[in-house]
Chain A
Amino acid sequence: MTLEKREARRPWLLLSPALTTIFFLLVVPVIFVVVYSFWLRTASGADQPGFYLTNWAEVLTDSFYRDILFHTLKIATITTVLCAILGYPAAYFIARSRRNKAMLLMCLMLPFWISYIIRTMSWINILGVSGALNSLLLASGIISEPLQLLYNETTVILGLIHFLLPFMILNIYVSVEGIDETLEDAACSLGSTRWQSFLEVTLPLSLPGLAAGGLLCFVLGAGTYITPLILGGPTDAMFANLVFEAIITQLDWPLGSALSLVLVAVLGALILIYNRFFGMSQLMKGLS
Chain B
Amino acid sequence: MGWSVIRAWTAAVYLFMFLPVAVVVLLSFNSNQFGSFPVTGFSFRWFIELWENEAILRAFKTSMILGALTALISTFLGVLASLALVRYKVPGRDFISTLLIAPVLVPEVVLAVALLLFLNFLSLHKSFFLLLLGHVIFTLPFVVLVVQARLVSIRRDYEEAAMSLGANPIQAFLTITLPLLAPAIFAGMLFAFTISFDDITGTLFWKPGGIETVPTQIFSMLRNSISPEINALGSVMIILTVGLPLIGLGIARRIAAKQA
Contacts and interface: CB of A to CB of B under 8 A. Distances in A.
A256 B118 contact: no
A86 B137 CA distance: 33
B88 A11 contact: yes
B23 interface: yes
B67 interface: no
Contacts of A142: none
Interface in A231-245: 240, 243-244
B101 interface: yes
A278 interface: no
B193 to A, nearest CB: 11
A162 B24 CA distance: 15
Interface in B200-218: 200-201, 204-205, 214-215, 218
Interface of B is mostly: helix
B113 A26 contact: no
Nearest to A198: B1
Contact of A17 (B7, B24, B34, B76): B76
Interface in A3-21: 10-12, 14-15, 17-19, 21
Contact of B110 (A114, A123, A264): A264
A29 B37 contact: no
A15 B117 contact: no
B200 A33 contact: no
A188 interface: no
Interface in A251-288: 253, 256-257, 260-261, 263-264, 267, 271, 280, 284, 287-288
A226 interface: yes
B235 to A, nearest CB: 9
Interface stretch (B42-50, B154-162, B237-245): B237-245
A29 B214 CA distance: 27
A32 interface: yes
A57 interface: no
Contact of B109 (A28, A166, A243): A243
Given A93-B9, A117-B218, A240-B107, A21 B238 contact: no
A87 B96 contact: no
A229 B17 CA distance: 21
Nearest to B226: A124
Contacts of A166: 17
A257 to B, nearest CB: 7
B20 A247 contact: no
A29 B117 contact: yes
A92 B3 CA distance: 10
A8 to B, nearest CB: 9
A114 B241 contact: yes
Interface of A is mostly: helix
B107 A263 contact: yes
Given A18-B80, A118-B234, A260 B113 contact: yes
Interface string A213-241: 00000010011111001100000000010
A116 interface: yes
Contacts of A33: 110, 113-114, 117-118
A225 B140 contact: no
B256 interface: no
Contacts of B69: none
Contacts of A17: 76-77, 80-81
Among A10, A15, A263: residue with most chain B CB under 10 A = A15
A18 B77 CA distance: 5
B21 A90 contact: no
Given A19-B96, A114-B238, A223 B38 contact: no
23 contacts: A11-B90, A14-B84, A15-B96, A17-B77, A18-B81, A19-B81, A27-B102, A29-B119, A32-B114, A89-B13, A90-B14, A113-B241, A113-B242, A115-B234, A118-B24, A121-B222, A122-B234, A125-B27, A225-B201, A230-B219, A243-B109, A256-B113, A260-B113
Interface of A: 10-12, 14-15, 17-19, 21-22, 25-30, 32-33, 36, 86-87, 89-90, 92-94, 104, 107, 110-111, 113-119, 121-126, 128, 130-132, 134-135, 139, 162, 165-166, 169, 195, 219, 222-226, 229-230, 240, 243-244, 247-248, 253, 256-257, 260-261, 263-264, 267, 271, 280, 284, 287-288
Interface of B: 1, 6-7, 9-10, 13-14, 16-21, 23-24, 27, 34, 36-38, 76-78, 80-81, 83-85, 87-90, 96, 98-111, 113-119, 121, 133-134, 136-137, 140, 142, 144-146, 148-149, 194, 197-198, 200-201, 204-205, 214-215, 218-219, 222, 226, 230-231, 234, 237-238, 241-242, 245
